[in-house]
Structure 1
């Protein structure tokens, strides 16, 4: 597929999103529609659209690429996904009822009610930092694909490609916000799911395999090992580490994250929000298994056709993230290439548009106080919200530029590694607020605790071979971070004389 064809498809795709955005927001572009979709969203639309938000371009490219990574990843990621599923169920049964009970717009106002002003601001700041970095990394992955296979052909610099991508996302989200995104993400998830299914079909056709033969090929390949129980101390792939990491990363990055919870809170009531989470969980597990299958088939295809893993232009090292686009754009026919492009675009922009809306919501509620009775009817709120939305778009641009300079790792592993440090304190804050209702923290110390905890965690991780006999941490590091925050809060707190109302 030529670069010109790719650009034409992207233009048509975003034209469709802009049309949907205009149609939905033309009658109501209020802050209530932007923040909460007027609390009238259909649970099945939210559930289906959340698939695109949760998966992103990382799942679409990096997860299949890691299946055949030199480090021997294979299907180990599915251990993490099983932990994710448990985390989703805990979120649905424990956290969602809590949020609906207090009728929250920003979930971090719960921390204000339970722990205090500085604790509240700390939680909101952690989210803003974590989501900005995480979403920027996810968008970065797609931008480097577009840069390599499209815009380098026209001599367009990397920063201009990033600006273009963010400008397009801003254009169809700045009016309608969540109300628009629930519809556009449903459409984008449809493209994502269709893309992975059709990709499997096309690769199987190229390999002359039917469905049963494809299953057997994956099963008998060197890429299909799922469960790793060897070397608990020294291997980061051990089942217990991956599973527990999956549970607690999900609790932090979904259950304590304004982005995905904002969509759940847009449902009419708790029952519909829980139906959304249960159905979303089932689809999420199946789709990720499909992506791992795509990864195995890609490496089988590459081996038969003599295709090498593309080399990163900056580091000069093989980059598994680029294997899928390399095969789709340069070794498959036009139709599979178009389907891949639509799926990739849908997966990534469904994540970024949702993140920008959640970041805007959190800042407007948690720092500008737009939900306060004295502010809620101010006519200046709408244009303030639009400026906040634009500011976060620019901030994400800066993060992507910085990451492009320093990154040489697989994006999927980098995202979860950083999340272990940035989201960890949120686990500690919410756990303390939920389980210790009769203790009062020294609120003014909480910002320092949220800084010290990740630093202690980093020190522990860096010296784990000395402290714990060559123990190697992976995603379960977030448990350590959250536990340290929790213990520091406990030590600095005191028992209240009377029960907190």
Structure 2
């Protein structure tokens, strides 16, 4: 397929976006006086901004492009995941946010040492850091890979524009800079989804009515054959279970989201953040699926516009570059960059928070706030550089399968991490040794299920989480608790 010329005006729009993001980082750099500023923003973030940040953080560029492709080629069943994420929020409000706010944590995994011991804290923190370095590489690589066939920008330049500039503004602005750039990026993502949908509808004969009626005729919403139970297929009940545990992991055990709970000045503002996120999640992803439906209608009416043997996974950037006016196309591509950078910058700052809190400050002599700030910035650069180097290697060697397998194995730690927090908060009798046994059993069970069964991968989170809780509960009487009973009561339900 012939690569489309990106055009001068599109370049101007993209460069303008990148310049604004860099200026935000420069502006907030002057406020970064201590580790508390760098990792908690000194509690200065309003709830609505933290909420937009959570939304932008959890929506990567891969999601931005893959959801329309999913709706174009298949159906809307994955939309259920967005509403599962909303449904768990009351549970998070009641049982998790008070813990994180009361303990005034920098790293979410500090709680695991207070409740259990340092082994649990290190397991969770190191798992998180390794997974997110891999996540940075994968997001950068797949974004470059998705855009390569459609724009005349060198893939290594795409990696530089996404990764290196992200390192720079995260290094300078800390979590405050990250959140306010997330606000810009979240607005761009939302606006781009609505804009694309409206523009496609204007180009479809019959307009919006034809878009939705054609999808209904083709049974592309929630097909009846997806309603049944299955152990191996991604049917709706399986998706509901999978998204429940993945959302639980994200909102209760993942530093990049949990960190947003402590950047506001009160519990009320923190809850406002999650309400804002819920409103966005309830509305904006529907437009991503609607874009896929609109693209399906458009190219059904105009099949000659698609190249022969076209890979429909790139249907969104193909339409943007080939059909949208100059300038508007640049804005949409900038939104794809924004989706990448919002996820990567959050990963960078949360990795540095985990290292500074769980390793650097935890061991050795007591560290000053200035030393923690310096180390946090150094780790931001190191983690970002590792991600950029890894994504560059993947582009040059085309060996994505090996990295995907590695990233998948690290991702299996999400279930055990979620289980540890559930065990600590809800199972009073659990202790450090029973928790350790639960984690070992969960990792072993999840790896065995992955290697030896055909169980759908959406069940992996449930297997990991529930194994930790069940084994941790049953094994507790076998060990003498190394915490005083009153300490455990203070840190559990």
The bucket for the TM-score relative to the shorter chain is 0.7 to 0.9
1:403-482 equivalence runs, <5 A: 405-407=398-400, 421-442=412-433, 446=436, 450=439, 453-465=442-454, 472-482=455-465
C-alpha displacement at 1:79, in angstroms? 2.0
Assess if the C-alpha contact under 8 Å between 1:202 and 1:336 holds in 2.
no
C-alpha displacement at 1:282, in angstroms? 2.3
Assess if the C-alpha contact under 8 Å between 1:419 and 1:478 holds in 2.
no
Inter-partner Cα distance in structure 1 for 2:148 and 2:139: 15
C-alpha displacement at 1:325, in angstroms? 0.4
Assess if the C-alpha contact under 8 Å between 2:136 and 2:384 holds in 1.
no
Post-superposition CA distance 1:115-147 (Å, at most 9, x none): 101111011112112222234322322222343
Q: Does 1:39 align with 2:38?
A: no
Q: Which residue of 2 aligns with 1:216?
A: 213
Q: Which residue of 2 aligns with 1:362?
A: 354
Tell me, which stretches of 5 or more residues in structure 1 are unaligned?
312-316, 466-471
Task: Say which SS state the counterpart of residue 394 (structure 1) adopts.
Answer: helix
Post-superposition CA distance 1:237-256 (Å, at most 9, x none): 32221112111101112321
Backbone CA RMSD of aligned residues: 3.0
Structure 1 residues 403 and 83 mapped into 2: Cα distance closer, same or farther (>3 Å)? Answer: farther
Q: 2:258 aligns with which of 257, 261, 267?
A: 261
Assess if the C-alpha contact under 8 Å between 1:441 and 1:492 holds in 2.
no
C-alpha displacement at 1:391, in angstroms? 0.7
Structure 1 residues 165 and 18 mapped into 2: Cα distance closer, same or farther (>3 Å)? Answer: same
Structure 1 residues 231 and 45 mapped into 2: Cα distance closer, same or farther (>3 Å)? Answer: closer
Structure 1 residues 192 and 480 mapped into 2: Cα distance closer, same or farther (>3 Å)? Answer: same
Q: Which residue of 2 aligns with 1:252?
A: 249
Post-superposition CA distance 1:59-102 (Å, at most 9, x none): 21011112233xxx410101222222223332233211111121
Q: 2:466 aligns with which of 456, 461, 483?
A: 483
Q: 1:381 aligns with which of 372, 396, 402?
A: 372
Assess if the C-alpha contact under 8 Å between 1:356 and 1:393 holds in 2.
yes
Q: Does 1:48 align with 2:52?
A: yes
Q: 1:397 aligns with which of 388, 407, 417?
A: 388
C-alpha displacement at 1:170, in angstroms? 1.2
C-alpha displacement at 1:485, in angstroms? 2.9
Task: Say which SS state the counterpart of residue 223 (structure 1) adopts.
Answer: coil
Assess if the C-alpha contact under 8 Å between 1:218 and 1:224 holds in 2.
yes
Inter-partner Cα distance in structure 2 for 1:388 and 1:205: 48
Post-superposition CA distance 1:410-450 (Å, at most 9, x none): x9xx999667613011022112211222332328x83x864
Inter-partner Cα distance in structure 2 for 1:81 and 1:27: 35
Inter-partner Cα distance in structure 1 for 2:101 and 2:223: 37
Assess if the C-alpha contact under 8 Å between 1:236 and 1:474 holds in 2.
no
1:184-203 equivalence runs, <5 A: 184-203=181-200
Assess if the C-alpha contact under 8 Å between 2:65 and 2:314 holds in 1.
yes
Assess if the C-alpha contact under 8 Å between 1:196 and 1:343 holds in 2.
no
Larger helix proportion of the pair: 2
Q: Which residue of 2 aligns with 1:276?
A: 273
Tell me, which stretches of 5 or more residues in structure 2 are unaligned?
488-493
Q: Which residue of 2 aligns with 1:30?
A: 34
